[in-house]
Structure 1
Amino acid sequence: MKFLKRAWPWLAAVLSGVLLVLSFPPADIGGLAFVALIPLLMAVWIPQREKRRGRWHFALGYVAGLVFFTITFSWFSELAPLFRSRALIGLPLLFAAYLSLYPAVWAWLAGWIAGAQFRPLPAPDPLARFERPLLLQSSRNLGIAIFCAVSWVALEWMRGWMLSGFGWNKLGVALHRDLPLIQIAEFTGVGGLSFLVVMCNAILLITVLRVRAEIGRIRLRPHFDFAVTAGLVVFAFGFGTRVLIRAQQSPAQAVSLSVAAVQPNIEQRDKMDMERWPEIFDRMEFLSDLAATASPDLLLWPEASVPGGMLGDVDTVAWVHGRAALVPALMIGTDDLNRGAMGEDHNSAAFIQRGDKEPQFYDKQQLVPFGEYLPLRPLLGPIFGGMVQGDFKPGKGPGIFSLAKPALKLAPLVCFEDTRGDITRAQVKLGAHLLVNLTNDGWFGHTAELDQHTNDSIFRCIENRRPMVRCTNNGITASVDSFGRVERWMEPFTEGWKMQPVSVPTELRETFYTRHGEVFSVACGVLSLLVIAMTIASRRAARTHESKATMPA
C-alpha cells in the first residue's frame, strides 16, 4: 500500500504518455486526446509533498513526454539497419530526451500556477476551498484551465521552430478525423485545437473533483467553468459544420486539373545501392510512360526519384527531358549535388514544361535532422558522422511554379515541409493555387510514420484553404481538399500510377492564418508570460503583507 502511494504519480505520468501515444497512429484514437493529460494533472495537482514540488512536477511531465515521444517516434529506429548502425536504435530515445522537456516545463507551470490555493483534495477538509463565492470559484478554475491551455500551445509552437523545429504530432492533430471541429484552423492553426483539447482535460478533472467534494457535502452547484469550456467546443463544432454546409451549397469557382502521380515503391536500401540504379531508372520510365498515355495536365514523381540527381550527368538530364516531353508538365523530386557556382547540395523539386530547355528548381528549406544534416556536428559527429557524411544546404526562401495550361500556380513542398505551417503559408502568399508535396517516406519502412505525416499535412490545406496533392515513393499518395478531406489514390507499399481530376479553386482568397500565421500561438505565449509575471508579483505582495501582519506592533 505504501508502495502504491509513492508510485501512483509516476504510474499516472506513464498512463498519460500511453494515452497520448494511442491518440496518434498507429492506434489513431483521436478522442483519447481529450482525457490523455488528466492522469498527469492529477499527479501534479494532488499534493504528495510540500518540498521541491517544482522539481517533482517537472520530473512527472518529463516521464510522460519520454513515454509519448519515444513510442510515437519509434520509427526513427528504422534507420539503424539501413546504415548498419546499432547506435541508431536509440535515436527515438535521443529525440525524446529533448522533446520531453516541453511537457516537463508545462507540468511544472501547471503545478506552479495552481499554487497553494489549488488543492483538489487538500487535507484535512476537502470542501474548504468550495466555501468561496460561486462565481469566484468557477472563474479561478477557468483561469487555471486557460493558463494550462495557452502555456501548452506556446510550448508546442516553440517545439515547432526551436533547434530547427520538429512540430510533429501536436495535440490538435489527433482530431484530424473530426472535420467540423478542425475548421477553426483557418484562424488559429493547429494551436487552436490543442488549446481546446488541453482546456477540456483541465476542466474535466476539476469538475470531477468538485462534484466529488460537493456530493460529500450534499450540495451540488452549477459549474460555469465547465459550461464555458463546453460552449467553446460547441461553438467550434458549429462553426465548422456551417463552413462545410456552405461549401457544399455554394462551391467556390474552380478548374479541374488532371494530375498523374507515380508511386514507384522503391526500397530505400535499393536507392542507396548504385548497382540497383539501372533498375530504378527502368521502373520510373515504365510507370511514367504509362501515365503519359492518360494525357494528364501534370505528372508528378516523388522526392529523390532520380538516382544520382537529375543533373548527375548528361545522360540523366536527357532522360528526364525525354520523359518531360511526353506530358505538358512534369514535377519531380531530385537530390542534386554540387549544383551552381558554389557547388552546394540540395534536396529539390524540379519543374519542366513541354518545350522548356532548362528546369526550374525549388530547394527544400526545412531539412531533416540526422537525414539531410547532422545537428551539433562537432558534438554528435563521432557517433553519427558515418550516417550523415555531408550536410545539404537549405533553400533560401519560398518559390512557386507557374503551370501554363490551365493557368495555375503550384507550391512545391518537399518531404516534411508539409508539416510546417510557416513554410506552406509563405508559398501560398506568393499566389499558389495548389500545394504539391513530393515525399519519400521509404526511410522508415512499414511504420506509423506514413499516417502521421499524412495527418499533419491535412491542416496545411485547412489553414490556407488550398487543396494538396501528395506524390510519394511508397505512400501515402493522395489528394486533400481545402477542408481536410483525404482521398487516397493508391495503397501504401504498392507500385503503380494513378491519374485523378483535382478541383483547384481559382479564387485566391487569403485566410486569417495565411495573412497572419501563428498569431494565435504567439498570443498564447505572450499571455502565458503576462500571467506568470502577474502571479509572481501577486504572490510577492501577499508574502510582504503576511510578513507585515505577523510583525509585533
Structure 2
Amino acid sequence: MLTDRPDRSRWWRAAAAVPAGALPALAFPAPGLWWFAYVALVPWMLLLRGAASGRQAALEGWLGGAGFILAVHHWLLPSLHVFLLPLAALLGLLWIPWALLVRTLLGGSPGAGRAAAALVLVPAGWLLSELARSWEGLGGPWGLLGASQWQVPAVLRLASVGGVWLAGLLVVAVNCALVLLLAVPAARVPALAGLTGCAVLTGAVWLWAPRPDVSGGLRVAVVQPGVVGGADSVERRFDAGERLTRGLAGQRLDLVVWGESSVGADLATRPDLARRLAALSAEVGAPVLVNVDARRADRPGIYKSSVLVGPGGPTGARYDKMRLVPFGEYVPARSALGWVTSVGKAAGEDRRRGTTPVLMALPGRPAVAVGPLVCFESAFPDMSRRLVRDGAALLVAQSATSTFQDSWAPAQHASLAALRAAETGRPMVHATLTGISAVHGPSGERLGRPLPVTASTAEVYAVPLARGTTLSVRFGDWPVAVALTALTGYGLVLVAGRIRSRLTARLMTEPAPEPTGPPARTARE
C-alpha cells in the first residue's frame, strides 16, 4: 500500500492543476472579480514549486494552462464543440516553460538572491507564454491577465506607460511575492520588498505618467438593434438599425456607429441600401459608419468592411478586416481541418483579409480621423497603436457577439475597449449588434452607460478628444523586450554555469599527465 502513494499523489496533483490553472478566469468579466487576479495564481504556483521533478512540473504547467484556456474561452463550445479540448491542450503547452521557471526559482528554500530573481523572471516567463499565444493563428491575445484590470484606474495608468503587458507583469509579480510569503519564510524580506516595489511603481506611475490632454469632443451615437432572428434576419436587422437611427434626428451628432455585420450586402450591388443609408445620414446630420459582411462587387470573396456613408452616399472610406477569427471566420489548414464545420459552427467559407489600416476623416470635421477595427481586432494592442500613430483621434470597434449572447464573451469583449483607450490616450467606441456596447474615454474611463445584451436601442455619448502621445504608443511593447532580455540573460547564466560545472568536473576526474622528457639526474650523477 505504501508503494502506491507516490503514484496516487502524482495523479491527484495532475488533476488539481486543471482547476488551479482555471482560477484566474474569475478575474475577467462576467464575474469581474478584478482583485482576485492578484491571488488567483497562488494555488497553481504552490503546486508547481512542490513538483518532485521537472517532468512533473511540466505536466502540471501544461494541464494548468489548458485549464486556463478552457475557463476563459468556455463560451466557444457552441462553435467548436469537442474541438475546444484539443485546442486547449495545444495552447496549454505554452505554459510549460513558465512552470519550469516556477519550480526552479521558487522550489525548495530559495535564498534572498533566488527569491529576488523569481520576482522578475516568473512574471517575465508568464508574459512569454502570453506573447506566444497572442499570435493570430493561435487565437490572438484574448484573456491576457493584465486585461482583467480594465476597470482599475491605477492599472489603466500603467497601461498608458507599458500597455496591457506591464499590467500583466504587475499582477504576476504580486502573486509571486505572495507565494514567497506563504511558503518560504527565509524569503519574506525580498517578498515584502517586491510587494512594496509593486505598490511604489503603481503610485509613481499614477503621479508621473502624463495624462491625456483633453481638447474638444464629439457627439457619437451607438445603434444596437438587439437580437433579431428568423430567416430574413439580415434585412430585419437593417430595418431595426434604420428605425433606431432615425430616432436620433435633431441631437447634433458628429457620427453614428452601427455594429459588425450590420449590412448584409455590398452597397455597390444594393444601391437601394446605399440610398437608405444616405437618407439617414442627411436626416440625423452625421455620417453613419456601418459594417458590411458580404461578397465584394469589385473582387472575389467575402469581406467584413467598415464603410462610412454620408448624405451623398458612401464616402469612399472603407476598411477591410485584416485579422480574422480562427474557425469563426476561416478554418486554418482547411484541407486538413475542414471536418470541424460538421461538428460546430466553424466558417463554411473563409473570409478574405484586408491589407492595410485605414483612417476615415469625418465629413464636416476633417481634422478628426476615425480609426476603425472589426470584432476581435480590438484585442490586439498593436493595431490600435498603429492607428493612433497614423493620426486617429477616435478608435471604433464594430463587433457582434450574438452567437455567444448568454455567455461571458460580450462582457469580456466590451472590456477590451478600456485597455485600448488607456494604452493609446484616445477614446474608443465599442459598438455591437446585441450588446454589450460601451464607450471609454482617453484614460480608459467609462463614458455614459453601457448598452446591455438584448437591448434594442440607440444611445448618444459625449466623447472627449485628446492630444499628445502616451508612452505606450511612443515606445510600443517595451515590457516584452525587457522580459525577453531578462529571460535571455538568465538562460545565458544557466548555460555558463553548466559549462563551468562540466569543466570543473572534467578537470577533477582526469588523471594528472605523466612527466615527459629525460629523467632528472641525481645529485651523485
Please give the TM-score of this superposition, normalised by the length of structure 1. 0.85
Q: Residues 503-527 of structure 1, C-alpha deviation per residue, up to 9 Å, x if partnerless?
A: 112x2x1222212321221331233
Residues 199, 12 of structure 1: alpha-carbon distance in 2 compared, 3 angstrom cutoff: farther
| Aligned partners of 2:224 and 2:435 also within 8 Å | yes
Give 1:357 deviation, angstroms: 5.7
Alignment pair present for 1:381 and 2:342: no
Gaps of 5+ in 2: 513-525
Residue 243 of structure 2 aligns to a residue in which SS? helix
Residues 11, 35 of structure 1: alpha-carbon distance in 2 compared, 3 angstrom cutoff: farther
Residues 449, 162 of structure 1: alpha-carbon distance in 2 compared, 3 angstrom cutoff: closer
What residue in structure 1 maps to residue 472 of structure 2? 513
Q: Residues 228-270 of structure 1, C-alpha deviation per residue, up to 9 Å, x if partnerless?
A: 31233212331354369x85xxx73421311111100134x54
What residue in structure 2 maps to residue 64 of structure 1? 64
Q: Residues 261-317 of structure 1, C-alpha deviation per residue, up to 9 Å, x if partnerless?
A: 1100134x54xx3x3444333222211111234331211111110123434423222
Give 1:11 deviation, angstroms: 4.7
Instruction: For 1:403 and 1:345, locate their aligned partners in 2 and report how far apart those are by CA, in whole Å.
Output: 26
Instruction: For 1:358 and 1:464, locate their aligned partners in 2 and report how far apart those are by CA, in whole Å.
Output: 27
Q: Residues 416-456 of structure 1, C-alpha deviation per residue, up to 9 Å, x if partnerless?
A: 11111011111111111111111111121211001111222
| Aligned partners of 2:158 and 2:206 also within 8 Å | no
Specify the code of the residue in structure 1 equivalent to 2:47: A
What residue in structure 1 maps to residue 226 of structure 2? 265
What residue in structure 2 maps to residue 370 of structure 1? 327
Specify the code of the residue in structure 1 equivalent to 2:221: A
Residues 97, 47 of structure 1: alpha-carbon distance in 2 compared, 3 angstrom cutoff: closer
Give 1:501 deviation, angstroms: 1.4
Gaps of 5+ in 1: 80-87, 122-128, 130-136, 215-221
What residue in structure 2 maps to residue 134 of structure 1? none
Instruction: For 1:282 and 1:356, locate their aligned partners in 2 and report how far apart those are by CA, in whole Å.
Output: 18
Bigger Rg, which one? 2
| Aligned partners of 2:274 and 2:313 also within 8 Å | no
Instruction: For 1:366 and 1:235, locate their aligned partners in 2 and report how far apart those are by CA, in whole Å.
Output: 38
Q: Residues 322-350 of structure 1, C-alpha deviation per residue, up to 9 Å, x if partnerless?
A: 2223232111111131342x324211111
Instruction: For 2:249 and 2:319, locate their aligned partners in 1 and report how far apart those are by CA, in whole Å.
Output: 24
Give 1:76 deviation, angstroms: 0.9
| Aligned partners of 2:414 and 2:437 also within 8 Å | no
| Aligned partners of 2:278 and 2:310 also within 8 Å | no
Instruction: For 2:183 and 2:192, locate their aligned partners in 1 and report how far apart those are by CA, in whole Å.
Output: 16
Greater alpha carbon shift after TM alignment, 291-300 vs 406-415: 291-300
Alignment pair present for 1:460 and 2:417: no
Alignment pair present for 1:27 and 2:31: yes
Instruction: For 1:408 and 1:27, locate their aligned partners in 2 and report how far apart those are by CA, in whole Å.
Output: 37
Give 1:469 deviation, angstroms: 1.4
Greater alpha carbon shift after TM alignment, 2-11 vs 395-404: 2-11
What residue in structure 2 maps to residue 101 of structure 1? 93
Instruction: For 1:306 and 1:510, locate their aligned partners in 2 and report how far apart those are by CA, in whole Å.
Output: 35
Residues 258, 424 of structure 1: alpha-carbon distance in 2 compared, 3 angstrom cutoff: same
Specify the code of the residue in structure 2 equivalent to 1:139: G
Residue correspondence of structure 1 range 204-283 to structure 2 within 5 A: 204-211=178-185, 223-242=188-207, 252-267=213-228, 270=230, 273=231, 275-283=232-240
Of 386, 392, 403, 1:432 maps to: 392
| Aligned partners of 2:329 and 2:350 also within 8 Å | yes
Instruction: For 1:499 and 1:306, locate their aligned partners in 2 and report how far apart those are by CA, in whole Å.
Output: 21
Instruction: For 1:236 and 1:405, locate their aligned partners in 2 and report how far apart those are by CA, in whole Å.
Output: 43
| Aligned partners of 1:142 and 1:203 also within 8 Å | no
Of 424, 430, 445, 1:470 maps to: 430
Give 1:67 deviation, angstroms: 1.6
* TM-align CA RMSD: 2.5
Specify the code of the residue in structure 2 equivalent to 1:486: R
Identical-pair percentage: 26
Residue 184 of structure 1 aligns to a residue in which SS? helix
Alignment pair present for 1:420 and 2:408: no
Give 1:73 deviation, angstroms: 0.8
Q: Residues 43-71 of structure 1, C-alpha deviation per residue, up to 9 Å, x if partnerless?
A: 222242xxxx3332121011112222112
Residue 248 of structure 2 aligns to a residue in which SS? helix
Residues 374, 357 of structure 1: alpha-carbon distance in 2 compared, 3 angstrom cutoff: closer
What residue in structure 1 maps to residue 17 of structure 2? 13
Residue correspondence of structure 1 range 177-188 to structure 2 within 5 A: 177-188=151-162
Residues 109, 378 of structure 1: alpha-carbon distance in 2 compared, 3 angstrom cutoff: farther
Please give the TM-score of this superposition, normalised by the length of structure 2. 0.89
Give 1:351 deviation, angstroms: 0.8
Residues 356, 283 of structure 1: alpha-carbon distance in 2 compared, 3 angstrom cutoff: closer
Of 238, 243, 250, 1:286 maps to: 243
Alignment pair present for 1:549 and 2:483: no
Give 1:162 deviation, angstroms: 5.6
Alignment pair present for 1:323 and 2:311: no
Instruction: For 1:258 and 1:36, locate their aligned partners in 2 and report how far apart those are by CA, in whole Å.
Output: 40
| Aligned partners of 2:397 and 2:429 also within 8 Å | yes
Runs of 4+ off more than 4 Å: 550-553
Instruction: For 1:321 and 1:142, locate their aligned partners in 2 and report how far apart those are by CA, in whole Å.
Output: 62
| Aligned partners of 1:141 and 1:206 also within 8 Å | yes
Specify the code of the residue in structure 1 equivalent to 2:44: L
Residue 100 of structure 1 aligns to a residue in which SS? helix
Q: Residues 455-497 of structure 1, C-alpha deviation per residue, up to 9 Å, x if partnerless?
A: 2221111111111112111112121012221233422211011
What residue in structure 1 maps to residue 489 of structure 2? 530
Instruction: For 2:191 and 2:137, locate their aligned partners in 1 and report how far apart those are by CA, in whole Å.
Output: 38
Residue 475 of structure 1 aligns to a residue in which SS? coil
What residue in structure 1 maps to residue 108 of structure 2? 120
What residue in structure 1 maps to residue 498 of structure 2? 539
Greater alpha carbon shift after TM alignment, 201-210 vs 411-420: 201-210
Residues 358, 343 of structure 1: alpha-carbon distance in 2 compared, 3 angstrom cutoff: farther
Instruction: For 1:529 and 1:463, locate their aligned partners in 2 and report how far apart those are by CA, in whole Å.
Output: 27
What residue in structure 2 maps to residue 46 of structure 1? 50
Instruction: For 1:55 and 1:502, locate their aligned partners in 2 and report how far apart those are by CA, in whole Å.
Output: 53
Greater alpha carbon shift after TM alignment, 311-320 vs 367-376: 311-320
Specify the code of the residue in structure 2 equivalent to 1:29: L
| Aligned partners of 2:22 and 2:70 also within 8 Å | no
Instruction: For 2:370 and 2:112, locate their aligned partners in 1 and report how far apart those are by CA, in whole Å.
Output: 50
Greater alpha carbon shift after TM alignment, 202-211 vs 412-421: 202-211
Instruction: For 1:435 and 1:485, locate their aligned partners in 2 and report how far apart those are by CA, in whole Å.
Output: 14
What residue in structure 1 maps to residue 464 of structure 2? 503
Residues 173, 59 of structure 1: alpha-carbon distance in 2 compared, 3 angstrom cutoff: same
Q: Residues 22-45 of structure 1, C-alpha deviation per residue, up to 9 Å, x if partnerless?
A: 222232212222222222222222
Of 142, 145, 149, 2:116 maps to: 142
Instruction: For 1:469 and 1:26, locate their aligned partners in 2 and report how far apart those are by CA, in whole Å.
Output: 20
| Aligned partners of 1:23 and 1:33 also within 8 Å | yes
Greater alpha carbon shift after TM alignment, 91-100 vs 196-205: 91-100
Instruction: For 2:455 and 2:173, locate their aligned partners in 1 and report how far apart those are by CA, in whole Å.
Output: 42
| Aligned partners of 1:280 and 1:307 also within 8 Å | no
| Aligned partners of 1:463 and 1:511 also within 8 Å | yes
What residue in structure 1 maps to residue 516 of structure 2? none
